[in-house]
């Protein structure tokens, strides 16, 4: 293990910034669970699709990476809505195992389609932002990560405002709390489900555009982020919006500090040790499983 004040300070700053991205990726998964009680095991692969879209717009189309938000966000909303209508909606009332197997199958299909069309190559982009850094004493902040953190925080705030302050957002929360009561009050629950699944997927489009300047793209990139999203959602409390945001920052810090003080493949021991402890001693999550 290596300890120094500079190293710990650097890992904390990096952890906070990447934790914001983890939180944004996880918010969509938490929203889908909170509204429909479905864990989408293809969540990471949806992010992979969005990253390929962003990559080709930047590398082949010459787009500014952050301008790709104009394409990735609606594209992922549409992808989520289409997959919901075609596959998820018909099994909403089925046993949980059927739902799990369906989303796992979607995950495998998307991974293998990516392998067929794009091979197993790891793709990266180099933009004008790639080498930009800010120095604060001994701490170096990569500008693309800082922009990703700010963009993630802003997106999460706007989504929270939408759910809390708009009529459609209130309808989504009503359907999440009690489907029958919401139906009796005139809420089209099936439409709300489709909208929630689409919004949960669209957040991945935002995340992909924010990440494309500093993270690679490959057919398996969704495996890591999907796993992290499940850890974050469980840690924050299933369906808890604010809990997911805080848990994302916690996992980002744990990942970064673990990489700084532990060698090689041991770097994720802290993350999964924390996950196991939460499952053992507080399985409802750190925030009690209350939906917010």
What separation, in Å, do the N-terminal and C-terminal C-alpha atoms of the chain show?
39
What is the longest distance spanned by two Cα atoms in the chain?
Answer: 60
Within the chain, which residues score under 50 in pLDDT? Answer: 292
**Which residues are 140's β-sheet partners?**
135
The CATH number of the domain covering residues in 5-281: 1.10.3470
| Burial 13-33, CB ≥16 within 10 A → b, else e | bbbebbbbbbbbbbbbbbbbb
Q: Domain extents for the chain? A: 5-281
pLDDT value of position 2: 53
pLDDT value of position 257: 84
Distance of CA 13 to the CA centre of its chain: 20
pLDDT value of position 131: 82
Report the distance separating Cα 283 and Cα 292, nearest Å.
18
> Containing H/E element for 207?
helix 189-211
Residue 172, phi then psi, degrees to nearest 5: -65, -45
pLDDT value of position 288: 63
Overall pTM surpassing 0.85 (yes/no): yes
Cα dist from 94 to 38, 99, 182, whole Å: 11, 7, 21
The pLDDT tens digits of the residues spanning 49-107 come to 999 999 999 999 989 999 999 999 999 999 999 999 999 999 888 888 888 899 999 99
pLDDT value of position 1: 52
């Amino acid at each position: 293990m290596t300890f120094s004040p500079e190293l710990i300070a650097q890992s904390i700053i990096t952890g906070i910034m990447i934790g914001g991205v983890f939180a944004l990726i996880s918010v969509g998964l938490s929203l889908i669970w909170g509204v429909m009680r479905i864990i989408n095991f293809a969540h990471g692969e949806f992010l992979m699709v969005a990253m390929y879209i962003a990559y080709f717009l930047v590398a082949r189309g010459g787009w500014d990476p952050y301008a790709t938000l104009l394409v990735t966000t609606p594209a992922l909303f549409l992808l989520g809505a289409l997959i919901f209508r075609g596959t998820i909606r018909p099994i909403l009332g089925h046993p949980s195992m059927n739902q799990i197997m369906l989303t796992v199958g979607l995950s495998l299909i998307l991974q293998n389609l990516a392998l067929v069309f794009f091979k197993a190559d790891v793709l990266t982009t180099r933009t004008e932002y790639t080498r930009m850094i800010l120095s604060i004493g001994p701490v170096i902040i990569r500008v693309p990560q800082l922009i990703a953190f700010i963009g993630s925080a802003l997106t999460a705030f706007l989504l929270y405002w939408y759910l809390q302050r708009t009529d459609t957002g209130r309808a989504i929360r009503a359907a999440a709390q009690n489907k029958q009561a919401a139906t009796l009050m005139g809420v089209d629950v099936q439409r709300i489900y489709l909208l929630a699944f689409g919004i949960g997927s669209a957040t991945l489009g935002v995340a992909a555009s924010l990440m494309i300047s500093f993270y690679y793209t490959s057919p398996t990139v969704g495996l890591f982020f999907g796993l992290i999203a499940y850890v974050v959602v469980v840690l924050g409390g299933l369906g808890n919006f604010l809990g997911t945001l805080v848990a994302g920052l916690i996992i980002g810090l744990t990942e970064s500090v673990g990489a700084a003080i532990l060698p090689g493949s041991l770097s994720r021991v802290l993350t999964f040790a924390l996950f196991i402890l939460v499952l053992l001693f507080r399985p409802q999550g750190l925030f009690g499983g209350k939906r917010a």
